[in-house]
Amino acid sequence: MTSESGTLGAVSTPPSKRPAAYWRLWRKVPRELGFLILTLPIAVVGFAVAVTLLSAGAGTLVTFFIGAFLLIGALYVSRGFGILELVRLEWAGRPRIERPEWQDARAREGFWGWLRSVLGNGHYWLYLLHTLVINFAISLITWVITVVWVSVGLGALSYGLWWRTVPKGDGNWYLADWLLGLFGASAQGGARDALEVVFTAAIGLVVIATLPFVTRGLVLLHHVIARGVLGAFRSDALQREVIALSASRGAAVSAEGHSLRRLERDIHDGPQQRLVRLQMDLAAADRQLDTDPQKARALMAEAMVQSREALEELRALSRGFAPPILLDRGLVAALESLTVRSPVPIRLVNELAADVDLPQEIERNAYFVASELLTNVAKHASATDVELRVALRRVPEPDSTWLDLTVTDNGTGGAAVTDGHGLAGLDERVRGLGGILSVSSPVGGPTRVSAHLPVTY
């Protein structure tokens, strides 16, 4: 018996919390009443405008242009009234319903593409059906129930103030007589009038007490219908995800191409030139070895210098991929090494938890992004103060985790994502990872560049 009572107590609402929950319902009653009272006038206006445009468009469709534009006008009017319904539901306290996609790739193909995009979009026709039939019928029902419920409740509660104005006659029906008759009793004169006032007020009190449940239920009915008819399709989200993945893949391929071309250029301009010079110096030293040993030693010494510099440049290039410190000690240590090597003073603000464990691929890309941002600052910003901030952020809807890298400098500003420049390639790389690069750089500074990278485990 003990375990059963404990289980029931866990799933049922404690009595002390029930009144609080009831009064919380009353908090939204004014907004819900406002929504329900206005719903029929708005539905009537939407119906009148949409049916006028639709009938006029159907009647003049033989002229095509006039009829087509009137028909599209009916679709756009329905769209407006549908969106108004969604906004009003949010105002009434209901959760937000995701809006549908109104245009697809066809809309960018000129007038005919836009026309096909509108007429071929099922959401427009559903909104038209909602405006002409569904919302008009449901609004009429919920409006009548709301008005009758409020009128009966307030009228019954205030019956004691105006009952004397009701004409009296032998054929009048009295609530007090009917209720007393159930128990075999009766009352006459003033006693009957007093009981009539008390019984009517009690009924009014019950009606008003149940008002929050009625308004909540009617608004929920509107919300359920709107979610099914006016909300986005599940296929819309899938289509957006496919488009985003295609764009990310294209950006990743483009960014990889930029990276390879830059690496090729850096190797050609740096280590390759030094290795060619090294080969030439060694060949010259070999020729001078027998005839002029002193000159041969000088050429070999210069060749050693060239080999050391080529090695340093190769090491510098390798840092753009995965420096050993990143693999051994993690992202924060690698970012600290970046700030130490930078010719510009940099403050690293680490907001990552000490026990955070990021995927190695995310750390590698984050390091590359930070390296590119700091290199751009050193080359172009003329800054004297730079801040590098790294943080992990949780987004509840949809549930996701993002790594934020932000570089802020006090330089000259004017940075922009322009084709052929460093930020454009970086933007492609970030988008290829499914992330977002945001740039704020007014002329005169300061410049703030943030890379937001999704973290997937």
C-alpha to C-alpha distance for 431 and 436, rounded to whole angstroms:
6
Helix ranges (H only) for 270-409 are 271-288, 293-319, 324-329, 331-341, 360-376
Residue 262: both structure tokens together: 């830059």
What pTM was computed for the model? Answer: 0.52
pLDDT tens per residue across span 198-229: 777 788 888 888 889 999 999 999 999 999 88
Residue 285 has pLDDT above 90, yes or no: no
For residue 457 the two structure tokens come to 């485990």
Residues 6+ apart with CB under 8 A from 365: 429, 433, 453
Mean pLDDT of 439-449: 85
CATH number of 328-455: 3.30.565.10
For residue 395, the cross-strand partners are: 400
β-sheet bridge partners, residue 453: 403
First to last CA, the chain: 46
Percent of the chain at pLDDT above 70?
69
Kindly tell me if the per-residue pLDDT of 128 is higher than 70.
Answer: yes
pLDDT at 332: 86
> How much is the pLDDT for 377?
82
pLDDT in tens, 37-67: 999 999 999 999 999 888 887 777 666 567 7
Peptide bond before 442: cis, by omega within 30 degrees of 0? no
Q: Sheet containing 436-440: give its strands across.
A: 346-350, 386-395, 400-409, 447-455, 436-440
Q: What is the mean pLDDT of the chain?
A: 76
The per-residue pLDDT for 221 is 94
Domain residue spans in the chain?
17-232, 270-317, 328-455
- pLDDT tens-digit readout, 69-107: 888 888 889 999 999 999 999 999 899 988 887 766 565
